[in-house]
Each structure stands twice: as structure tokens, then as C-alpha cells.
Amino acid sequence: MENQLISVIVPIYNVEQYIHTCLDSIINQTYKKLEIILIDDGSTDNCPGICDEYAKKDKRIKVIHKKNGGLSDARNSGLKIAGGSIISFIDSDDYIALNMFEEMYNIMISEYSDIVSCGVKIAYDQQYANKANPETGNVETMDTSSAMKELLVDGKLKQHVWNKLYKKDLIKDILFEKGKYHEDVFWSYQAIARAKKVTVTSKQYYYYVQRSNSIMGEDYSEKRLDALDAMKQRCDFIKTNFPNLYDISLAIYMGACMYHYQCAIRCNATKKNKNIKKNILSRIKYRKTGNVFNAMHDKKQKLWLHLFLAFPRFTCKVRNILKIGL
């Protein structure tokens, strides 16, 4: 059977320090049948020119120069023109093992999977760049419900989209939420819900580069509440489509409220910060829609959540002093 075309969507914004390593790791893949879509999202550094230079050297590369619209908008733009039957999203400040696509594609075909996810290695430099990963890893294929549960509990499946291969027909009409932080949380559960089979390999093909000036490296702000909006939206979806997982989803949401309230009370007592705390506290009443403790087995976590729901400010202050959950 002839290999299928994989469309690799790479959103790019002011990452000239990292982009060469990222793109080199993609164009040098052992799997050659690629369509590489570079979305220059209004970069103000040298990224636009770098993208064009790569396109001149490799006919598989397509470049879109657009006005800055954020990560979600860039991914949506790439998805709109993708011609492959399989989709990959790679962040432009990260890089991948040279055999990532070949081995994950082979897993997708052999397991008849709709989504394949790999392990992630944290990288602080480029010591793993332009290498194949020779390690062995476990492979596990799950049905829809099992995969959704793993996603909810942040277990074998994580929220991020960039360490996965997706069949295009599965996700082509699922758009990323434009202008949102934590866009993957809004998106991933919708993709998993449509997949009949999801396969996870523990082998670490994706290298997640740590940098202090990334979006996720910023200080806590009101935009962080987007994560709670995404979890609330996910809870509503789970209640309708996976009712047996609703209590788990609800417990995760309430636990996230506790975490965000801890973050909020550590910030300066500005008017905006007060609004953040008020927003979080208003969400606690949502717990009444299910049994938030029904799916919790860890006694300590259950106790902390009990205390938070009854005494949110006091509980979070104590947790901060004890440095729990941060």
C-alpha cells in the first residue's frame, strides 16, 4: 500500500532563534511523503524570510504569510489548505526525532488508529536535534471511552496536539478557538470523541523546548481563566456524550478551580485580580451538577477539595504556605 501524505502544520511567530532546528527536524524526516505548511503569523523578526528560503530549497514546503491572529488562527489557516489525509501540528520552537513520522505512521496503519500519540521529552537545548530515536517503547490502543478518560485525568493522553498524528477526516471541521489561551484544552476532547481507536506509544519522539518568553512562561493573568472556560465547556460535552465519565470531568474542573484560585491569591491585590478571584468562586456552584467526589480515590485530594469547596480562600492560602499544588 502506498504511503499516505502527511500535512505538517507549523504556526510561526517570532521564533528565529529556534526555527532552523524545528524545520530541519521536519524536512529531514525518514518519512518523505510530507506537505509542510509554514504559517507565518505576522512575525516581526526574520522568520518570514527564513520560511521563504526553506520553501525555495524544498518543494514540499508551502508558506502562508498572514496578519497576526494567534496560534489558533494560524493552525486553522493551515488546516484549511492541508491536502494530506493525515495531519500533524508542530510548534515552531520545538523539534522532533527524525523517525517520528515514519514510526507513528506505521503504528497508525498497523493498529487501524484514528489518532496516534507519542511521548514527549523536555529539552533545554538542542542536544537531541537532528537525531532518530532508537529507544523502544510500549504501544497501547484504546477505544473512545478509554481514551477520553485518559485525556481527562491527564494520564496516557495529554491535552496538547503537537505530539500526535490525526486522520484528517476526523478533525477537518474542528476549529481551534481563536484568541484563547489553552486552545488545546478546547480542542482535544472533541477530536478524541470522534476517534474509534487511539494509540499511544511511550517512545519520546517530540522535543518540547523550554523557553522563558513563551506564552506559557508568562505571569498569571486573567487570560489563564480560558483554561477553566475550556474545562466547563468540556464538562457540558462529557455530560451529554460520555455520562459515565461526567463525575471525573467535574472533579478535574473543580480541582482546576482550586489551582487557579491559589495562583490568583498569590498575585497583587489589584482590581483585576479581585475580578479573577470572583470569577473563579462563581464557578464552584457548578459542582452541584454531579457528584464531584464520586470519582476521587485519593483521600488527601478528596479532603483538600472538600475544604476548598467549603472554605476556598482559607484552603488555598494554606496550600500556598505548604506549597501544595503549585
Residues 201, 199: Cα–Cα separation, whole Å: 7
DSSP letters along 158-178, please? -S-STTEEEEHHHHTT----T
Task: With a cut of 80, say whether residue 150 has pLDDT above it.
Answer: yes
Residues 126, 158: Cα–Cα separation, whole Å: 23
* Best CA proximity match to 36, nearest among 22, 15, 18, 16: 22
Task: With a cut of 60, say whether residue 269 has pLDDT above it.
Answer: no
Average pLDDT in the 143-154 region? 97
Cell reading at 305? 477539595
Task: With a cut of 90, say whether residue 279 has pLDDT above it.
Answer: yes
Cell reading at 112? 487501524
CA 181 to chain centre: 11
Average pLDDT in the 111-117 region? 98
Q: Where are the domains of the chain?
A: 6-215, 219-322
Contact 122, 144 (CB under 8 A): no
Residues 31, 110: Cα–Cα separation, whole Å: 16
pLDDT class for 267, splitting at 50, 70, 90? confident
Cβ-proximal residues to 129 (8 Å cutoff; 6+ apart), any chain:
21, 24, 25, 95, 207
Average pLDDT in the 296-324 region? 93
* Best CA proximity match to 104, nearest among 46, 159, 162, 21: 162
Average pLDDT in the 298-309 region? 94
Looking at domain 6-215, its CATH architecture is Alpha-Beta Complex (3.90)
**Residue-level pLDDT at 270:** 57
The pLDDT tens digits for 14-37 are 999 999 999 999 999 999 999 999
Say which residue, 60 or 293, is predicted with more confidence. 60
Task: Record the pTM.
Answer: 0.92
* Best CA proximity match to 205, nearest among 320, 99, 316, 84: 99
The pLDDT tens digits for 211-261 are 765 444 446 678 889 999 999 999 999 999 999 999 999 999 999 999 999
Residues 309, 311: Cα–Cα separation, whole Å: 6
Average pLDDT in the 172-187 region? 94
**C-alpha distances out from residue 310 to 254, 306, 316, 318, Å:** 12, 6, 11, 14
Task: With a cut of 50, say whether residue 114 has pLDDT above it.
Answer: yes
Cell reading at 291? 457528584
**Residue-level pLDDT at 272:** 65
The pLDDT tens digits for 115-148 are 999 999 999 888 888 888 888 889 999 999 999 9
DSSP class of 277:
H
